Every structure is written in C-alpha cells, then in structure tokens.
Amino acid sequence: MAEAKQVHHKAHNDDVVERAKDFWFRHGRTVLIALGAIILVVGGWLAYKYLIKEPNERKAEEAIWKVQDYYQQDSTKQVLNGDKQYPGAEKIASQYSGTKAGELADFYAATAAWKLGDYNKVVKHLKDFSTDAGQVQARAYKLLGDAYANLGKNSDALSSYKKAAHEFEDDKQASSEYLFYAAYFADRVVKDKKEAIDLYKEIEKKYPNTRYSAEAEKYLGQAGVYKSQE
C-alpha cells in the first residue's frame, strides 16, 4: 500500500514538473520580458527618487532660505531676482520646479511681482500653483484673482476669488473676506446680480459672526433682498 502511494506521489510530481516545463516553454519569453519591465520601472523610480528628486529637494531648500530672509525684510526686488550671491524666487521656481521649495518659490515670486505691478508674472507663477498648506493655497487663489482683475479677466478673477473662499474654510476670517471679495466683484464688476446675491447669502449662512456678514446683509438690502424674504 505504501509502495502504491509512493508511485502515485512520484507520478504526480512528474506531472507537475512536465506542466511547469510546458508552461515555461510556451510563456517563458513573455515572463522574462514582464519581469524585466518591472525591474526597469522600479529601478528607474528608485534612481529618480534617490539620485534626482531628493537631492533636488535639498538643493531647493538650501537655495530658498535667502529668499525667505528678503521676504521678511520686504525687499521686493531681491525676493524676485535675488542678488549677485543668491538666486531669487523666480530662478529657484524655474530651476527646482516640482520640489516643495520650488513651489513655495512660485508663491514668493508672485507676491513680489504683485508689489511691482507685474500682473502677468503673478498669473505665470500662480495659475498652476499647488500646495498642501490650505491657508497658503487660499492666499494664492486670492492673489491670482487680484491679478486677473487688474488684467481685466473678470471671469477668471471671480473664479479665483471663489476658490480662495472655499479652499480653507476653517480660517473663518480669511474665508469670509475672500467670499466677500467674490460677492462684491460679482455684484459691482461682473454685474451678475444672481451670483452676487447667492454669495452674499453664503456669507450670512457660513460666517454670521464676522464683520462680512453685516456687510453682506447691507448689500443684500441694496439689492432688495431681506432676511424675512429668504
């Protein structure tokens, strides 16, 4: 009986081996190509991360400290263009695009450009700006809206103001201010009364304890909309 089991087990193993050989004969080349592709992708990603991305992050962080120093001093031209020894925010943003410090450099460059009245440059640095810091992102949307407004791009300005208002609503003071900008701009510049009324109402609903709620109520009254009618 034991002998029969051994024979059966050996036959089963032989069958498994033969099937494995047959699979490898038919699909071995495909498997090797797939494994090679996986190794290439993983290896490329690791090389990018450790040889390019992380060194660039460190270099960008080292480069931006002087920009931040000039920003604190309110040295607008130096923030944007740097000096003979240190690069400015504009160069850092270009050279280290895709790094966190490079993205922050875009924000510094846009702020400096705004103070210098270069609204096209503000748009250039902020139209694709993105950061995980909600308050900074909201401020960037507001600044972008101001630049669009000065360039006469009213639809883009209104859209940016609304994004600023809705980006980080935990900051009630800033969000209510940005929402009021949006409402006032829709009311007095875009001349879209319905949009303005909706935004003024949103201020009253979300931020009843802010100064902008009282402002919203005043402008709603001028539009003939009163709380008893809502």
Q: Look at the alpha carbons of 68, 62, 93, 91 in this order and tell me if their dihedral is positive or negative.
A: positive
Gap between the Cα atoms of 123 and 106, Å rounded: 10
pLDDT at 166 over 60: yes
The position carrying tokens 């924000």 is 107
Average pLDDT over residues 3-22: 50
pLDDT of the residue at 46: 40
Average pLDDT over residues 19-26: 56
Gap between the Cα atoms of 141 and 14, Å rounded: 69
**pLDDT, tens digit, 9 for 90 and up, residues 187-224:** 999 999 999 999 999 999 999 999 999 999 999 988 88
**pLDDT, tens digit, 9 for 90 and up, residues 83-125:** 888 888 899 888 888 788 888 899 999 999 999 999 999 999 9
Non-local (6+) Cβ contacts of 48 within 8 A are none
Percent over 90 (pLDDT), the chain: 53
Lowest average pLDDT, out of 9-13, 127-131, 202-206, 213-217, goes to: 9-13
Q: What is the pTM of this model?
A: 0.74
Whole-number mean pLDDT of the chain? 81
**All structural domains of the chain:** 18-118 (no CATH), 131-230 (1.25.40.10)
Separation in Å, CA 112 to CA 29, 48, 71, 72, 166:
58, 32, 8, 12, 25
Q: Which two tokens stand for residue 165?
A: 């208002």
- Any idea what DSSP says for residue 86? S
- Residue 93: closest CA among 85, 79, 84, 103: 103
